[in-house]
Amino acid sequence: MKKLKLNITVNGQKHTLKIDPNLRLLDLLRENLHLTGTKEGCGIGECGACTVILDGRAVNSCLILAGQCEGREITTIEGVTPEDGLSPLQQSFLDNGAVQCGFCTPGMILSARALLDHNPTPTEAEIREAISGNLCRCTGYTQIVEAIQAVADGREEQQGSL
Amino acid sequence: MNQNPEIIGTSPKRVDVREKVTGAARYGSDLKMEGMLYAKVKHAEYPHAKILSVKTGRAKKLKGVAAVATAADVPGNPAFGAIIIDNQPIAGDKVRYLGDAVAVVAAETEAIAEKAVSLIKVKYKELPGLFDPRDALKPDAPLIHEDGNLIVHHKTRRGDIEAGFAAADRVIERSYSVQRVDHAYIEPEVVVAYFEPDGTLVVKGSHQSIFNIRSAVSGVMGLPLSKVRIVQASLGGSFGGKDDVMSVLSCRAGILAQQTGRPVMLSNSREDSLIESYKRHPYFMDYKVGVKNDGTITAMEIKMVADGGAYASMTQFVTWRSVVHATGPYRVPHVKTDVYGVYTNNTYTGAFRGFGSPQITFAYESLMDEIAEELGMEPLEFRRINILHDNDITATGQILDHTVSVGQALDVTTSASGWEEKRARFPKENSGRIMKRGIGLACSYRGVALGAEGVDATGATVRIHSDGSVDVATGLVEMGQGLKTIFSQIVAAELGIPIDKIQYRPTDTSLIVDGGPTVASRSTIMGGSAVKKAAIGVRERLFQAVSEKLDVAPEDLIAADEKIMLKNDPSRSVAFLEAIALALETGLNLSCFGWHLSPPIWWDEEAGKGDAYFTYVYACQIAEVEVDPETGKVNVVEVWAAHDVGKAINPDTVRGQIYGGVATAIGYGLLEDVEMVDGVTKTMNMDEYLIPTAMDVGKINAIILENYDKYGPYGAKSIAEPTAELCAPAIANAVYHATGKRIRDLPLNLERIVLGHKLIKKKRRVR
Ligand code: FES
Ligand code: FES
């Protein structure tokens, strides 16, 4: 198979890579760049475990070819984690008991982050809608919604930078 | 004595969550190894067929293929099983469901392995299939296993059933059924298997009950237990679901690792998982109830058939829990219950949060509403007449010698939800509005831990290090339920130290003795008791050292605030660190093992009676729904869930369990169904197998009730499973209240009835 040249920025870092044209963004992140915080739960765009932020929008990385990301910017869970400590959303998930098994957590946090970037004061219904593409089997969503709400309300502000 | 009680009953931050919010936690699929191969499975092509030949030549020749294994390559026993040894990781003589493997492949990449699988040619002689469990015991039914299709028949007998019906003013008969559902943990199953230089087989992965898996792997690989190491990775959800299927994956990968001498990863796609992994048992349930006009239940005769699918798995235990609890939390003087677990050619069924209770709770709690209506009573009034109280006798003849709190659960949920007022108001308002409102309830009792289904014991080790750090190890596993945090809290409480001093050691069969499975909501009450004993044991050694130094009796000391101090004179104390130094100087061992055995219980299988569990928990849930009569869509507007947990060691995790269990039960009630047609799974991924999203779950009010139990650490009992057994019948009863439609089969997919087809799911976001 003919390799494709790809320029992509991931978590602020520029990469130039040679990739298979049928490589999924998810595999690029997990296999080529070893960013394993992005998870795979279904492979067909239904569970949201593979959510990353692509040019400011939350997307399912299992549905996107790496080749479609030429010149674009990706943020993964590794990219939202500050050098020291946790981002407000991460801290809030920790504080509000929003994590059980944790498999959905990276995707949830990125969907929440994309929401708050566009709408810093969402209603509960808007939060629920924003994470409705992220399935969680453990938590019943209650504490996840509370965690996101807490950040939106500024209750988690002091903990770090978004 | 409780040393540092403040931390018990609080919710310190979970000890295992920092790595989960940063994405650093390593789950099974993150465990890449140098030189690792990827495995794929050649699945059966018929649900029931004799295997005539398996041709692997072309697959083996494909470039990049390292090994192809068939049943002939299984080094040890062909099968494993909890009681009946019937589950073959690679099928030899015949296939019994479409999730069976006929061959497994290891190759340099997943794509090559997949290609190789497609080159394997299998010749079968197709056999007639058995897909309806109600046909399994008919004389002409195809035989799935040689010894017949009956896996198990359990019974409960109390009183004189004929006399019970004779004493009744009315006899009411109803039948209910529930569907096959998937655990739908978001992480599909995955293992990595490799051999250590000393010949030990290591299998890391998404394991639940590591010791069960170890014994399966040991048998199938023909290795001693001491040469099999099962290590749990961070587990992406399990809910009872990552046991037998993980044994299967572990054996398959182990065989390939042995053949190639290289690490092998076997990871299921979601499709593989839906086809292969075991499900919750579908049940068909017939109830006949005798009742007096004053509302007193006089007798219950119950017959149920559970679809065990192709392999027995946990069917004996699941159906036993059903036979014990089938009459619900009610006084029933005359009982005759029979439960049959049978083989079919459907996907096999086993443990799933609830374990034989969500099925029966749907039946008996729907039934309670139906009987109440027949008698012209309100559902609450009818239940109050019949519910169990302290010192009542259960259907199995057991006297309940603890606080029986089902009445309390009914009281708090009905008052919190505004029950009486809504029951009266909604029907009046519904006539004038399009969306119909309804409110319904369900209550239950549940035996804690394994019960008389087996010996119940578990162990823990607590070690204090010279620098004051402490670690704890148990054979029970974190699945997201918060076990590591709760066990750490117990150690912190007993040693009087902060929780951040405590490290939870990896869950690895080579580090700790067999403590039984992490099932049956037994971890807090059983594991917690063992951890407490271990912590107390090691503390006694510190006390011994300190008592000599202070010249006091060890009994007069307590550990708190990182000090060992005199109970009556806290000013006389020794710092925790100094106490450690004193103990080490005198050669004391600061590592202690605690072992906890459950109180005595018994079961007489022949007579169908016994003291089935050493204690019980009680609960009530109320669901308020809104139904669109045009489309049949049901919205769960709000849920009130009251659960008696004995003592909430960590209230946040208790609430988390309640929210999660309720959501799972909403899926069970309204959405989920692993559809199988003639043995073929039709719901192949999450676009067809629908689980609740954040928009499907309404507001949930978690209400924690605490009635101290003498058998639990600090009085604590359990929580995980009862949360998932109530909401489906509560919704069914609410839907009836809203619409007058009684639906006796799950899921309550009104779309099917109203529209004649199933719900088309809303498109999810793509990008
Ligand atoms: S793995 Fe991408 S949405 Fe499920
Ligand atoms: S925490 Fe387990 S899937 Fe969300």
ipTM over 0.90: yes
- Same domain flag for B342 and B376: yes
Which residue of B lies nearest to A49 if distances are taken between CA atoms?
A: B186
How far apart CA B545 and CA B417 sit, in angstroms, is: 56
How far apart CA B623 and CA B637 sit, in angstroms, is: 8
Of B140-144, B173-177, B628-632, B692-696, which gets the smallest average pLDDT? B628-632
- Asked whether the beta carbons of B361 and B421 are under 8 A apart, the reply is no
For position B456, what pLDDT does the model report? Answer: 87
With vertex at residue B69, the alpha carbon angle to CA B67 and CA B74, rounded to the nearest 5 degrees, is 130
Closest by CA position to B242, among listed A12, A103, A15: A103
For position B752, what pLDDT does the model report? Answer: 56
By CB atoms closer than 10 A (0-12, 13-18, 19+), residue B746 is: buried
- Same domain flag for B733 and B706: yes
Q: Is residue B218 situated within a structural domain? A: yes
No. of helices (H) and no. of strands (E), chain B: 18, 28
Taking only the tens place, the pLDDT of each residue in B210-252 is 999 999 999 999 999 999 999 999 999 999 999 999 999 999 9
Judge whether residue A158 has pLDDT over 80.
Answer: no
Tokens standing for B203? 């299998």
Q: Is residue B356 situated within a structural domain? A: yes
Q: Do A37 and B183 touch (CB under 8 A)?
A: no
- Same domain flag for B79 and B214: yes
Taking only the tens place, the pLDDT of each residue in B608-619 is 999 999 999 999
Higher pLDDT, B767 or B53: B53
Write out the DSSP string of A87-129: -HHHHHHHHTT--SS-SSHHHHHHHHHHHHHH-SS--HHHHHH
- Same domain flag for B611 and B681: yes
Q: Is residue B176 situated within a structural domain? A: no
- Same domain flag for B194 and B65: yes
Query: Which of B597, B615, B642 is where one domain is finished?
Result: B597
Regarding the beta carbon of A102 and ligand 2, being less than 6 Å apart is answered: yes
For position B766, what pLDDT does the model report? Answer: 38
Tokens standing for B696? 């499907």
- Same domain flag for B423 and B498: no
- Chain A CB contacts of B697 under 8 Å are 140-142
Is residue A160 very low, low, confident or very high in pLDDT (cuts 50, 70, 90)? very low
Taking only the tens place, the pLDDT of each residue in B569-599 is 999 999 999 999 999 999 999 999 999 999 9
- Asked whether the beta carbons of B440 and B730 are under 8 A apart, the reply is yes
With vertex at residue B674, the alpha carbon angle to CA A100 and CA B236, rounded to the nearest 5 degrees, is 20
Judge whether residue B627 has pLDDT over 50.
Answer: yes
Q: State how far Cα B663 lies from the chain centre.
A: 15
- Asked whether the beta carbons of B66 and B108 are under 8 A apart, the reply is yes
Q: Is residue B161 situated within a structural domain? A: no
- Same domain flag for B439 and B300: yes
- Same domain flag for B577 and B717: no
In chain A, what are the domains? 4-80 (3.10.20.30), 88-152 (1.10.150.120)
Taking only the tens place, the pLDDT of each residue in B456-499 is 899 999 999 999 999 999 988 888 888 899 999 999 999 999 99
What's the whole-number mean pLDDT along residues B56-68? 98
Residues 6+ apart with CB under 8 A from B561: B4, B496
Q: Do A41 and B187 touch (CB under 8 A)?
A: yes
- Chain A CB contacts of B693 under 8 Å are 132-133, 135, 141
How far apart CA B577 and CA B569 sit, in angstroms, is: 20
Taking only the tens place, the pLDDT of each residue in A90-132 is 999 999 999 999 999 999 999 999 999 999 999 999 999 999 9
Regarding the beta carbon of A48 and ligand 1, being less than 6 Å apart is answered: yes
For position A156, what pLDDT does the model report? Answer: 66
Domain interval for residue B549: 5-25+457-597
Count the alpha carbons within 13 Å of A88 in the hemisphere toward its beta carbon: 20
Taking only the tens place, the pLDDT of each residue in A17-39 is 999 999 999 999 999 999 999 99
For position A108, what pLDDT does the model report? Answer: 98
Q: Is residue B763 situated within a structural domain? A: no
Is residue B765 very low, low, confident or very high in pLDDT (cuts 50, 70, 90)? very low
What's the whole-number mean pLDDT along residues B22-40? 97
Q: Is residue B340 situated within a structural domain? A: yes
Q: Is residue B166 situated within a structural domain? A: no
- Same domain flag for B533 and B581: yes
- Asked whether the beta carbons of B635 and B760 are under 8 A apart, the reply is no
- Same domain flag for B267 and B316: no
Taking only the tens place, the pLDDT of each residue in B247-278 is 999 999 999 999 999 999 999 999 999 999 99
Q: Is residue B293 situated within a structural domain? A: yes
Residues 6+ apart with CB under 8 A from B704: B642, B643, B645, B648, B651, B654, B655
Taking only the tens place, the pLDDT of each residue in B389-435 is 999 999 999 999 999 999 999 999 999 999 999 999 999 999 989 99
Query: Which of B573, B597, B621 is where one domain is finished?
Result: B597
Judge whether residue B762 has pLDDT over 60.
Answer: no
Please report the residues numbered 68 through 127 in chain A whose beta carbons come closer than 8 angstroms to any beta carbon of chain B: 76-78, 81, 86, 90-91, 93-95, 97, 99-106, 109, 127
- Same domain flag for B565 and B629: no
Q: Do B480 and A106 touch (CB under 8 A)?
A: no
B246: domain CATH number?
3.90.1170.50
Interface contact A64, partner B, CB < 8 A: yes
> What Cα–Cα distance (Å) separates residue B699 from each residue in B30, B443, B639, B670?
35, 19, 6, 16
Q: What is the mean pLDDT of chain A?
A: 94
Closest by CA position to B594, among listed B491, B505, B483: B491
For position A159, what pLDDT does the model report? Answer: 44
Residues 6+ apart with CB under 8 A from B569: none
How far apart CA B523 and CA B503 sit, in angstroms, is: 18
Is residue B368 very low, low, confident or very high in pLDDT (cuts 50, 70, 90)? very high
Provide the domain count of chain B.
3
- CB neighbours (10 Å) of residue B578? 17
**Alpha-carbon dihedral angle through residues B179, B81, B235, B762, given to the nearest 10 degrees:** -20
B384: domain CATH number?
3.30.365.10
Is residue B631 very low, low, confident or very high in pLDDT (cuts 50, 70, 90)? confident
For position B763, what pLDDT does the model report? Answer: 43
- Same domain flag for B288 and B313: yes
Q: Do B685 and A46 touch (CB under 8 A)?
A: yes
What's the whole-number mean pLDDT along residues B372-386? 98
Judge whether residue A162 has pLDDT over 50.
Answer: no
Query: Which of B597, B628, B658 is where one domain is finished?
Result: B597
